[in-house]
């Protein structure tokens, strides 16, 4: 039994020795505990586009190099390792953190742009939550304000227009959803919020008509005690519509809603 036990121990020791000898260069450096070697190898991996390995080694030495001359390049490339691996939540955070930490860095402008661009890359289709879209829009606007003469400003303006159109699409879809679900009060509020936020929208005419239509159906479906005031609201929405769009393609339908609403209101006042 003792001999068998000794053989087991020796076997395990041999396996350990062989494993140590078979470790890759990366593993040996990762476990070496030498920050200088780890940083040098991290930069080497970064240049070789092995971003996962570079990121791991950067993380091992971040604290040791904090406040030292090497830290600026290291933190900047560390942020880039997330960006290149499409880990955009992290790259947005670390680029913004870099810009705040290294306020006089030659890389500050690039970091602030890439922070916003990382959020842009996370922007989903308009039907989903638009938090990344809003963050991207705010980031690009802050960049344009901070660097009005930057070569990146035209691209920022183009991307901001794209983001605004997506947010507008989201706002319109929300209003239409309420309208189609016959939740007319919510539709009115949603459409009016959209027009306040996007006054130059190409859909303004349609949205204004849908507000009128929603107001009319809101009155029709109200309890008796509230119908009079709500028909008056619908007629007001009609006047707003024809004042702004007297020759609208929706004018015949608007006139018909006005006629019905006025007749209903007369019957209520009798």
Residues 77-109 pLDDT 10s: 999 999 999 999 999 999 999 999 999 999 999
Calculate what percentage of the chain has a pLDDT beyond 90.
75
Is 80 exceeded by the pLDDT of residue 22? no
DSSP tag of 105: -
Q: pLDDT by residue (tens digit) across 94-150?
A: 999 999 999 999 999 999 999 999 999 999 998 899 999 999 999 999 999 999 999
Q: How many domains is the chain built from?
A: 2
Same domain, 222 and 266: yes
Same domain, 132 and 186: no
* Per-residue confidence (pLDDT) for residue 225, from 0 to 100: 84
Of 97-106, 177-186, 219-228, the poorest mean pLDDT is in 219-228
**C-alpha closest to that of 193 among 164, 217, 168, 215:** 168
* Residue 49 CB partners (closer than 8 Å, separation 6+): 84
* Per-residue confidence (pLDDT) for residue 242, from 0 to 100: 95
How confident is the model over 215-241, as a mean pLDDT? 92
* Per-residue confidence (pLDDT) for residue 7, from 0 to 100: 40
Is 70 exceeded by the pLDDT of residue 3? no
pLDDT band per the 50, 70, 90 thresholds, residue 23: low
Is 90 exceeded by the pLDDT of residue 153? yes
Residue 149, domain extent: 86-169
How confident is the model over 196-213, as a mean pLDDT? 96
Contact 135, 154 (CB under 8 A): no
* Per-residue confidence (pLDDT) for residue 268, from 0 to 100: 79
Instruction: Give 130 or 2, the one with higher predicted confidence.
Output: 130
* Per-residue confidence (pLDDT) for residue 38, from 0 to 100: 87
Q: What is the dihedral of CA 6, 11, 16, 20, to 10 degrees?
A: 130
* Per-residue confidence (pLDDT) for residue 2, from 0 to 100: 40
Same domain, 152 and 207: no
Is 70 exceeded by the pLDDT of residue 188? yes
Contact 229, 187 (CB under 8 A): no
pLDDT band per the 50, 70, 90 thresholds, residue 1: very low
How far is Cα 184 from Cα 172, in angstroms, rounded to an integer? 14
Q: Tell me how many helices (H) and strands (E) the chain has.
A: 13, 0
CATH code of the domain covering residue 161? 1.25.40.10
Same domain, 187 and 266: yes
Does residue 162 belong to any structural domain of this protein? Answer: yes
End residue of a domain, out of 169, 198, 233: 169
How far is Cα 141 from Cα 150, in angstroms, rounded to an integer? 13
How far is Cα 233 from Cα 192, in angstroms, rounded to an integer? 14
End residue of a domain, out of 126, 143, 169: 169
- Angle CA 144–122–97, to nearest 5: 55
DSSP tag of 247: T
pLDDT band per the 50, 70, 90 thresholds, residue 64: confident
Same domain, 90 and 164: yes
Same domain, 235 and 152: no
* Per-residue confidence (pLDDT) for residue 29, from 0 to 100: 80
**C-alpha closest to that of 143 among 178, 116, 171:** 116
DSSP tag of 222: S
How far is Cα 269 from Cα 154, in angstroms, rounded to an integer? 59
Same domain, 186 and 268: yes
Is 70 exceeded by the pLDDT of residue 5? no
Indicate the average pLDDT of the chain.
Answer: 89
* Per-residue confidence (pLDDT) for residue 270, from 0 to 100: 65
**C-alpha closest to that of 110 among 102, 131, 135, 164:** 102
Tokens encoding 168: 């507008």
End residue of a domain, out of 143, 169, 195: 169
How far is Cα 169 from Cα 93, in angstroms, rounded to an integer? 27
Give the number of other CB atoms < 10 A from CB of residue 104.
6
Contact 123, 166 (CB under 8 A): yes
pLDDT band per the 50, 70, 90 thresholds, residue 24: confident
């Amino acid at each position: 039994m003792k001999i068998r036990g000794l053989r087991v121990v020796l076997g395990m020791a041999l396996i350990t020795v062989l494993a140590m000898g078979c470790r890759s260069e990366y593993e040996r450096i990762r476990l070496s505990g030498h920050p200088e070697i780890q940083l040098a190898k991290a930069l080497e991996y970064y240049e070789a586009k092995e971003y996962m390995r570079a990121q791991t080694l950067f993380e091992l030495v971040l604290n040791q190099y904090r406040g030292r001359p090497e830290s600026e390049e290291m933190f900047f490339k560390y942020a880039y390792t997330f960006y290149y691996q499409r880990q955009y939540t992290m790259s947005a955070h670390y680029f913004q953190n870099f810009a705040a930490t290294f306020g006089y860095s030659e890389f500050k402008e690039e970091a602030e742009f890439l922070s916003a661009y990382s959020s842009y890359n996370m922007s989903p289709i308009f039907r989903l939550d638009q938090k990344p879209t809003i963050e991207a829009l705010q980031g690009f606007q802050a960049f344009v304000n901070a660097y009005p003469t930057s070569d990146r400003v035209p691209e920022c303006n183009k991307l901001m227009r794209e983001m605004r159109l997506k947010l507008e699409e989201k706002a319109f879809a929300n209003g239409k959803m309420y309208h189609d679900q016959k939740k007319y009060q919510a539709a009115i509020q949603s459409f009016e919020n959209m027009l306040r936020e996007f006054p130059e929208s190409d859909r303004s005419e349609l949205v204004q008509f849908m507000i009128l239509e929603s107001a009319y159906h809101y009155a029709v479906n109200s309890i008796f005690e509230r119908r009079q005031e709500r028909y008056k609201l619908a007629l007001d929405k009609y006047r707003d519509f024809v004042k702004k769009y007297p020759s609208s393609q929706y004018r015949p339908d608007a006139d018909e809603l006005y006629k019905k609403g006025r007749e209903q209101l007369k019957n209520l006042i009798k």
